[in-house]
Amino acid sequence: MARESEVQEDGELLWIDTDKPLDRLREDIPKACAANRFGVIATHDLREKLKEKGIEYGGECLVFEVCNPQKAGQVLEADPAISTALPCRITAFRTKGGGMRLATLKPTQMLDLFESAGLKGVAAEVEEALVAIMKEVAV
């Protein structure tokens, strides 16, 4: 069960803590994404990736690249430069305090890097979906 029932904000970051172990999050995130019309494009286990490069990382961190194809198509049609901010990511990592946290960057703030004011509504919809995914997974 989540320690905080609501997603928290810290600047450009949205996050929620959970008591679920990393293995369970690895299973639950793709299910929650599918339920919210997102797909998981790739999952990166950063501890394993660093280990492959000879670097020991004592933490736990998974990065899920997630995408809603319809929303991605809309923003790419409007401004292909936005591809530099795609796909969205949801991370699951162990905090310094020992708990697990889900986090993502705010799409609404990422959009501010581009001159695409007409896409604010799309970014807000994506952000709302990412929040829903993290809330669903955290409990």
- pLDDT 10s digits, 38-63: 999 999 999 999 999 999 999 999 99
Rounded to an integer, what distance in angstroms lies between the CA atom of residue 6 and that of residue 30? 20
Give the CATH number of domain 8-138; options: 3.30.1490.20, 3.40.366.10, 3.40.309.10, 3.30.310.70.
3.30.310.70
For the chain, what are the domain ranges?
A: 8-138
Where is pLDDT greater, at 2 or 52? 52
Give the H/E segment covering residue 122: helix 120-138
Taking residues 63-74, report their average pLDDT.
Answer: 97
Q: Mean pLDDT throughout 103-132?
A: 93
Q: What is the mean pLDDT of residues 79-108?
A: 95
Indicate if the pLDDT at residue 117 is higher than 80.
no
